[in-house]
Structures are given as structure tokens and as C-alpha cells.
Amino acid sequence: MQQAPRDFWNDRYREKPGETSGKPGLVLSQFAGPLEPGKALELGCGRGDDALWLARQGWQVTAVDVSAVALGYASDSAIRAGLAGRVQFEEHDLAETFPTGMYDLVVASFLQSPRDWPRAHVLARAAGAVSVGGHLLITEHASRQSGSEAAEDTVHPRAEETLSSLDLAPRHWRRLCVCAIARIGTRTEVRGETVEDNVIFLERTG
């Protein structure tokens, strides 16, 4: 039987406790860097590098993950960095429960799990948590990466396909970027390789 996301990710984080760069994702820093800080929600925050970076930029962050192990690392890092007052960590299996509130920025970077979880539904809820005038930033693998733990037959949609799966009303969203970008991989298994990410960056207008 396939593992539940909570067990899968807790095991993974326990196996690789120190695997973190301490740096924000490239897409996040490039796209969110110029935004005026407000309230941010990060879905699938893992060890918290992105959440801490947002907090350092002045955002008040709610950071969510299904893994209590990852949240433990992230919360320790926030305390060490003196940012505990700017980041609130919440444990959710986003397929079941979702944080409350509306946000000026909602981020989901590489939010993935073993197959058969309602990713499009979760990302649509993410869009629903963006305030008018706020932004949604989704980053995902555009193709299979070396050393990937995803199932062999995992489908990698194009950015346009991911966007259509959210079923958003076009009149309420401005498309700032819906594209694939190439970057140099940093994770151990792909270090030095060129990898492609899909980026979906939208502004809510209504």
C-alpha cells in the first residue's frame, strides 16, 4: 500500500536531517523579492528556508507542512535566526485541512507527494486564499529530476496545464508569468545539471 503523505515525508526528513542550503529558492527570491511585504502563506514549507527568507524581507509568514519533523527543524531555525515572532508554523495535511485567512502572497514551491493526492484542489484553495491585489506563486518541476522519489510514471504538466487545472476565472487574475525556466540544479542529485521549473505567478485583480 502506498504511504500516506505524513508518513512518507516524516521518514524522508528523518533520513536526511541536515540537507538544507539555508537559502531561499531562486524563483521565490526573483519573483517575490520586488513585492511590498505583507501577510504570506507558504504551503509545503519543508525545513523553512523560504519562510525564513520571507520573514527577513519583512513578511508576516504562516508556513505549513504535513511533516511535524520538518516543522520542528524549521521552527528551531526560526528561533535561532531571531525570527520566531514573524513566522507561525502550522501542521496540515492540505488534502484534509487548510489554514484560515487571506494573504497578500501565497507560495507553493515543489508541493508534491506520492501519487493520488488532490494537488489541483489544494492549489485552487491556495488561489482562493489570495487577497485582491495579492499574488500567487507556484513553482513545480517541469520534468523528472535525477534521484527523484516521485513514482516513475509521475506526469509533469506544462505550466499552462497546471494553471488550467485550478479553474480560475481569468477576469480576476493577471498573468505575470506562466512559463518554464531553466536553472542550474543545487540539490545533491542534480547539482550542476540544468533543470527546468514551471513558474505560475499571478496577481489577483478581482
Ligand X SMILES: C[S@@+](CC[C@H](N)C(=O)[O-])C[C@H]1O[C@@H](n2cnc3c(N)ncnc32)[C@H](O)[C@@H]1O
Residues 102-121 within binding reach of ligand X (CB under 6 A): 109-113, 117
In whole angstroms, the minimum distance from the beta carbon of 192 to ligand X comes to 18
Q: How many residues bind ligand X (CB under 6 A)?
A: 20
Q: Which of 39, 73, 81, 92 binds ligand X (CB under 6 A)?
A: 92
Q: Indicate whether 67 belongs to the interface with ligand X (CB under 6 A).
A: yes
Chosen residue from 35, 81, 95, 181 binding ligand X by CB under 6 A: 95
Does position 66 bind ligand X by CB under 6 A?
Answer: yes
> Applying CB under 6 A, which part among 32-40, 66-74, 152-160, 196-204 lies near ligand X?
66-74
Provide the minimum distance between the beta carbon of 5 and ligand X in the complex, in angstroms, as a whole number.
4
Q: Say which residue the cell 506544462 belongs to.
A: 158
| Beta carbon of residue 36, minimum distance to ligand X (angstroms, whole number) | 23
Which residues make Cβ contacts (< 8 Å) with residue 177, sequence separation at least 6? Answer: 31, 199, 200, 201
Binding ligand X (rule: CB under 6 A), the pick from 65, 104, 140, 197 is 65
Sites for ligand X among residues 26-45 (CB under 6 A): 44-45
Applying CB under 6 A, among 5, 24, 99, 134 the residue interacting with ligand X is 5
Q: Which residues of the shown chain bind ligand X in the complex (CB under 6 A)?
A: 5, 9, 25, 44-46, 65-67, 70, 92-95, 109-113, 117
